[in-house]
């Protein structure tokens, strides 16, 4: 194995005559680290000892040259650089060649290379590549200012933003570099009739192709607050028990969706609905009917995915509450609020601006439930924004939970005020009536779920109500991002 690695490394040097010393040093170090069992390497030697070699010593001097403020500028230029094969073939060149893209099972390196190039092109498009390059240049100049750290808070923000942008660009460039290295290896392997190297490089292209398909989806979530956890609020529309039951179904759908993604779900608030006049068996069957509920969803990119669900959701079915078995239309509205991290400047809340009400919690009985005033409702007097919690075991815990919700709602209002962000960041719930729905769930006379924003539809509403909504989410995110790019 070690001889093969040495052979590949020598070929990389031959193929990339313009390779930088630091890149070569990284390659050497990487191979030494991964193949420590080889007797050809002395892995216990420190970096300075490795640099004792007359060739490797050049790398140390090269690294030292870039220490200091120029190092960040060097990294920025490397992140913005475009990779190519040894004969100058770029991603754009591969796409222009119009190589046919076959199924993954076909052993055709041009097919794999074309699919990878298409994925890289799409990722760059979704990341708004030219804007990223311009942004990186601006941030690099900011980092070079001698008085930057006179304001540590601002400097930290610039540094983190620079690191984030550069990280995205370097990752994409690394994919490009890997693509071209494998293409060069395949060409060289064919010249030298090296079937082993050709097979290894072909398999590596296939792995990269599959990996980049996943990265295409991640590129949809490039918004500033997309990585954040979030609150999902569901509110019943007009229609009494029928709409309240529909709201409970929608909330259950999102709970299952979050659990399927291995997100952590916490119930923050559930306001039970009235069930007066409903027969006993109906009461037992629909015991979780409510007018409004809020859950907290913790997980990577929870807000980025859930923001696609903001709006009114319409249900058409034969109502189980109607003794005449008539068809009813119900509405429920969904709002999604990001929970912003510590790096964000949160709205300062003064205790004097709060009205705190304590009341007896509702819902099913149990120890302390319905016996003490443990539920808490907090109103922010200047804005009128309210938040409540009644599901925790103590008044203290309910207050902390309600304050977290209130903070997120006020933060979002501030985001809207300052940046005039679009409807996905709007705190108020969408109008819940005919013509305003983003999606229709039809259970009678036919069965279908259709998103009116993208025309995406499925014929199995049961699976959707069990939490299978990723198709709708990804379809909306893709179409809305493409529209934004066209508008730009």
**Residue 311 shares a structural domain with residue 204:** no
Confidence of residue 98 (pLDDT cuts 50, 70, 90): very high
Torsion of CA 97, 100, 106, 109, to 10 degrees: 0
**Residue 257 shares a structural domain with residue 189:** no
Residue with the larger pLDDT of the pair 240 and 82: 240
**Residue 263 shares a structural domain with residue 199:** no
Alpha-carbon distances, residue 222 vs 216, 304, 362 (angstroms): 11, 8, 40
Q: What is the pLDDT of residue 331?
A: 92
Q: What is the CATH number of the domain that holds 482?
A: 3.30.70.1660
Q: With H, G, I as helix, E, B as strand and everything else as coil, classify residue 83.
A: coil
Q: In which order are the strands placed within the sheet that holds 375-380?
A: 354-359, 375-380, 385-389
Q: What is the pLDDT of residue 488?
A: 61
Give the number of other CB atoms < 10 A from CB of residue 144. 12
The predicted-structure confidence for 155-186, as pLDDT tens digits, reads as follows 888 998 899 889 989 999 999 999 999 999 99
Confidence of residue 229 (pLDDT cuts 50, 70, 90): very high
Residue with the larger pLDDT of the pair 247 and 41: 247
Whole-angstrom Cα distance, residue 349 to residue 133?
A: 38
**DSSP-derived pairing of the beta strands 311-318 and 290-298:** unpaired
Rounded mean pLDDT of 409-414?
Answer: 82
**Residue 299 shares a structural domain with residue 442:** yes
**Residue 201 shares a structural domain with residue 278:** no
**Residue 364 shares a structural domain with residue 436:** yes
Nearest-5° Cα angle at 96, 93 to 100? 110
Confidence of residue 20 (pLDDT cuts 50, 70, 90): very low
Spatial contact of 225 and 338, defined as CB atoms under 8 Å apart:
yes
Residue with the larger pLDDT of the pair 370 and 346: 346
**Residue 192 shares a structural domain with residue 325:** no
Give the number of other CB atoms < 10 A from CB of residue 163. 13
Whole-angstrom Cα distance, residue 249 to residue 240?
A: 15
Domain-embedded: residue 26: no
Domain-embedded: residue 185: yes
- The tokens of 38 are what? 């080889």
Spatial contact of 28 and 19, defined as CB atoms under 8 Å apart:
no
Whole-angstrom Cα distance, residue 194 to residue 179?
A: 19
Q: What is the chain's mean pLDDT, rounded?
A: 77
Whole-angstrom Cα distance, residue 215 to residue 172?
A: 10
Q: What is the CATH number of the domain that holds 198?
A: 1.20.58.410
Does the structure show a pLDDT above 60 at 56?
no
Whole-angstrom Cα distance, residue 294 to residue 271?
A: 9
Give the number of other CB atoms < 10 A from CB of residue 335. 23
Q: Where are the alpha helices (DSSP H) in 45-128?
A: 47-50, 56-65, 69-80, 91-96, 109-127
Choice among 134-148, 270-284, 411-425 with the minimum mean pLDDT = 270-284
**Residue 315 shares a structural domain with residue 294:** yes
- pTM for this model (two decimals): 0.63
Residue 269 makes CB contacts below 8 A (sequence gap 6+) with 292, 293, 294, 387, 388, 389, 390, 391, 405
Domain-embedded: residue 8: no
Of 410, 416, 454, give the one whose Cα is nearest residue 308.
454
Does the structure show a pLDDT above 50 at 151?
yes
Looking at 170, 187, 218, the residue that finishes a domain is 218
Which domain, by its residues, includes 269? 230-487
**Residue 238 shares a structural domain with residue 92:** no
Domain count, the chain: 2
Does the structure show a pLDDT above 50 at 231?
yes
Q: What is the pLDDT of residue 87?
A: 85
Q: What is the pLDDT of residue 60?
A: 41
Domain-embedded: residue 312: yes
Domain-embedded: residue 4: no
Partners of 357 in the β-ladder: 377
Confidence of residue 288 (pLDDT cuts 50, 70, 90): low
Domain-embedded: residue 272: yes
Does the structure show a pLDDT above 50 at 306?
yes
Whole-angstrom Cα distance, residue 191 to residue 187?
A: 6
**Residue 184 shares a structural domain with residue 248:** no
Q: What is the pLDDT of residue 13?
A: 53
- The tokens of 248 are what? 């409970």
Does the structure show a pLDDT above 50 at 320?
yes
Q: What is the pLDDT of residue 153?
A: 84
Domain-embedded: residue 319: yes
Does the structure show a pLDDT above 70 at 117?
yes
Looking at 182, 198, 218, the residue that finishes a domain is 218
The predicted-structure confidence for 353-392, as pLDDT tens digits, reads as follows 899 998 876 654 445 455 567 888 999 998 888 888 888 8
Confidence of residue 274 (pLDDT cuts 50, 70, 90): low
Give the number of other CB atoms < 10 A from CB of residue 234. 27
Domain-embedded: residue 55: no
**Residue 122 shares a structural domain with residue 165:** yes
**Residue 476 shares a structural domain with residue 406:** yes
Using the Cα atoms of residue 305, residue 308, residue 311 and residue 316 in order, give the sign of their dihedral.
Answer: negative
Looking at 218, 249, 268, the residue that finishes a domain is 218
Does the structure show a pLDDT above 90 at 139?
yes
């Amino acid at each position: 194995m070690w001889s093969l690695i040495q052979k590949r490394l020598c070929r990389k040097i031959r193929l990339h005559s313009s390779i930088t010393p630091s890149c070569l040093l990284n390659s050497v170090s990487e191979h030494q680290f991964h193949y420590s069992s080889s007797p050809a390497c002395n892995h216990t030697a420190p970096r300075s000892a490795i640099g004792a070699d007359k060739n490797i010593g050049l790398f140390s001097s090269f690294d030292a040259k870039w220490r200091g403020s120029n190092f960040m500028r060097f990294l920025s230029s490397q992140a913005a650089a475009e990779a190519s094969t040894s004969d100058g073939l770029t991603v754009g060149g591969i796409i222009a060649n119009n190589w046919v893209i076959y199924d993954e099972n076909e052993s055709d390196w041009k097919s794999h290379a074309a699919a990878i190039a298409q994925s890289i092109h799409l990722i760059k498009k979704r990341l708004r590549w030219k804007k990223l390059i311009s942004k990186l240049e601006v941030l690099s100049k900011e980092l070079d200012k001698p008085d930057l750290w006179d304001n540590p808070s601002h400097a930290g923000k610039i540094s983190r933003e620079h690191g984030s942008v550069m990280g995205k660009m370097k990752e994409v460039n690394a994919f490009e570099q890997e693509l071209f290295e494998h293409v060069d290896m395949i060409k060289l392997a064919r010249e030298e009739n090296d079937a082993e190297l050709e097979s290894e490089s072909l398999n590596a292209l296939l792995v990269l192709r599959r990996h980049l398909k996943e990265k295409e989806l991640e590129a949809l979530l490039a918004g500033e607050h997309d990585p954040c956890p979030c609150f999902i609020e569901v509110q019943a529309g007009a229609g009494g028990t029928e709409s309240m039951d529909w709201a409970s179904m929608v909330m259950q759908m999102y709970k299952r969706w979050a659990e399927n993604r291995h997100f952590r779900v916490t119930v923050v608030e559930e306001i039970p609905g009235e069930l007066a006049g409903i027969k006993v068996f109906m009461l037992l069957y629909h015991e979780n009917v409510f007018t409004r509920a809020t859950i907290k969803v913790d997980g990577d990119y929870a807000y980025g995915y859930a923001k696609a669900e903001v709006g009114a959701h319409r249900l058409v079915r034969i109502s189980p509450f109607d003794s005449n078995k008539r068809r009813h239309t119900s509405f429920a509205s969904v709002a999604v609020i990001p929970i912003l991290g510590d790096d964000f400047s949160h709205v300062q809340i003064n205790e004097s601006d709060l009205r705190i009400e304590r009341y007896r919690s509702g819902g099913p009985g149990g120890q302390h439930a319905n016996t003490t005033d443990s539920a808490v409702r907090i109103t922010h007097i200047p804005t009128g924004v309210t938040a409540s919690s009644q599901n925790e075991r103590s008044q203290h815990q309910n207050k902390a939970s309600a304050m977290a919700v209130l903070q997120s709602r006020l933060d979002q209002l501030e985001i809207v005020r300052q940046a005039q962000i679009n409807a996905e960041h709007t705190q108020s719930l969408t109008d819940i009536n005919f013509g305003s729905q983003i999606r229709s769930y039809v259970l009678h006379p036919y069965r279908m779920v259709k998103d009116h924003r993208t025309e995406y539809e499925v014929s199995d509403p049961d699976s959707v109500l069990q939490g299978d909504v990723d198709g709708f989410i990804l379809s909306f995110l893709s179409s809305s991002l493409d529209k934004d790019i066209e508008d730009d």
